[in-house]
Structure 1
């Protein structure tokens, strides 16, 4: 970690140094670009002004006696060139041949030479203001050529050209000791503070571009070979490696279209600051490690003394925690037993409240059986065996009905261990309905049970689910006690992974103030002696144990609606 921190610090110093150098470089770029713009703009007006000179226009229009006009124009151009401090001023006719020039007296005079191959002539003769950097075809001196058409009422007669010598500007850059150069749209370095980089390229030139350069004779006989240049990226910034030396590269579009000015800062400045940061960081790291070792040894001595004192306290705390854990386990066991007893008490309470109706339901078949037995004796005495057989069939049917009632009561009342398994909600609902129908008076309750016709499985316990549904059905019956029309609607649905049971009655509904308390233990709206308020609370606890949810709301027209939701078991093996 310490080594990583030292390295990270050096890396961060490198980033900051590169950023600072970039800011300084941008300022230097602005300065160099200003000198280049000044050198060009200083003479930009010359072609335009001279194109309106009457002497030059006369030179391009006369046919005879031209010699006197040429001499006059040569002298004007020479004087103007000396005053403006440009390199050469000269006039081309419509064929591109030089008629007059400021250097007419020199050995390498432009007079008589044809420059129709130059782009600055082609652009100007078509009426466009032009500029072009090139090595002089006659003198071999590099410069920037600016041109403007000379026109009269009949059209373009010729071209006036001003050449600006760029050597003083490059000498100024060289004396500054910095690395700056300008490339054109072909990547050729044509202005540079380093002589060995001039007329080299930063990328290989395409054949088509090379052909055009040779046709324009832009760089004389220069080979235009690529620099020994490799491109890198450091701290998210461009880096040039030229002949093994790395430079931080800053670029900016220059004063003419396609020109790009490059300012290179030796990366050695960044590396030196990074190395200094790493040395300082390493020294600090060593001091930190030594201090840490000293503090660690001191802490270990203090801890040894503390451990001896804490050992006894830890033993006492561990013993106390173990006692609390044992007590918690006993309490949880007792709570589970109490919950099971409470569930069983609720079932027995429900059976107690239904006992009168159940006894009536059993007494009716019993009385019928006694009647059929007495009738069978008389029929046997009279020898009517076929009639006796009918009586025995009726007795068998009645005993089967009594067996179903007692079987359902026994299944509902037994105290079974809770085992979570895949349980069919449809079967649980049907069993609860069958049990309740035995205690309802005939035609007293109209029950509408809508289901899917297929099993719907949830994870739970069949007996407890039956108890939930019996409690809800009993509550529905009790709620409709004073209603003239008693209807119970039971619905079973499955939507994706959700099984839904709805139990709705046609009673008066629940007071909105009581909706939040309806599942609280011992909360009841019944008269004293008719209920203790445990049925819905027990049902709520059973449903929550099975991972379900129950809610109550008032139906749109009248009555209460209980909605129970379980997670459906799609794979019964789960």
Structure 2
């Protein structure tokens, strides 16, 4: 009956342990699946930004070619005399040369009926000459006096590509069209090397570019009949194209950012993230295999099951141990009487040994064969901040192990237990109880008892923190000097580059002016207009280079009327909005209803706003945990003849010791910073007659404010 009652008493705790084990397994699987899913979405977002940038680069790289060729007088002359063989040959040679230098696929000219009169591939079997492209949208757009862009399968070559066009205008009338074809196969080749599919759809939902050839020209959603007829008329995806659905089904996620597609008939599932490209009229879709989420969940279940098993075994061991303790309690009472007889003698020996140990400056630590600490002296306790009672009996990991070096500490334990401890010692970083770092040298040897048996290890520990701090301080000073030298070198390189580039640009302006004078004497109006445009572009380039030289040489900046509202929008479009999205921080604008006009260097002012915005995002990112309601707020206003632009965040704010030195050169709170950003920003604003101020924000966070003299608004 006694054993039965003991079993019943033990059943309650064991049931609780089993319940905790089951909950641990289920919770671990759910947590692992959610964590892996969030990781997959983050990877898709970052990859989407990179791929979207690459697509935009390829799509816009050659858009200038049709416009440039349309300005060539030879093209307009050919369009007026399409049967003149000499003109056609000259135009073909010109287009071939421009196309070869630019690296595009084909550059060609069409008359108002869509008939190609000259082409860069005039001497190839797939020549565009005498081919008619009147049904192509890019031709129709150019005939309306607009630039055109169109992706489709070539009517002549059968190879897909991106077509861009520009009108040839003479006396306000469109007399022809210049178009360029660009192959996008190189970017597709890079996609085929990726593990998961990636594809692009047009505005109608038709896949026209992707890493899986079998999906090309299939529809992701129903296409209206009128749109189908338009695509067939344009021969966008070949003369035989008919709408066919893609081989997958799309299921939206309960918690976006994306959805999930299931391939038929394999049933393979992918996470799918759509990245709209509104400026191109396309949608980029990136995918990730859903099996990674399931694999992470299964691994978590396996690990949690193992941990639960260990928990149950531990509970069983605890029950057995309690039973053993109860049985041995009586025996211990008898043993204690014997121990008391020898205590006095041992106390005398211990007092002598303790006095000797307390006089040592080197820390001493002894461990048994299991790694349990069995002895520490006073020097060791002072070194780590723990008492001997707190350390003796501890098994690895020890409380003074540094959390950043756990793998190294475990490796040292394995090395010592394998009998491979280095006689030259081992450097280790420990964590003092007060949170400070302690650098030490450990020298470990075998611990042998009186019978010659190996019973553990004895380590002597030398504190080298002061020496280590001195070495780190010296390294920091050397690194700072190197950074300063790099900044000076960059300034000198920028000044030299600006000087060297300005000379050829000035020569280009002089040559253009001389050519204009010659054309005036000969009365060729068209040549004069062309060279005038060339001169204007060269002057613009020289102005940009001059801006760089002025800033590097600290000369007064050139100013122009500009709008602070437009400056905010441009900074957002450059980088700020993308960075805010990457950090998960919403951006809110509170811009003045009317334009806030100031006299400033627009490019440098945009750079100041961009720098302040990035600093605000980094400040909010460094705050752990994140502040509630964190946001990046940009606000403009005009008051009493002064215009202001404020950048507000919900970060940790500006402590007094930081606020006093905020704008000092080379002062920074970031380990990877130069400490020059805010100093340069203030110098730029002051060069424009303004001031840059910083203060703490009500409710938490910081405010950086640019103040400039306001210009009167135009009527």
TM-score (ref. length: structure 2): 0.40
TM-score (ref. length: structure 1): 0.50
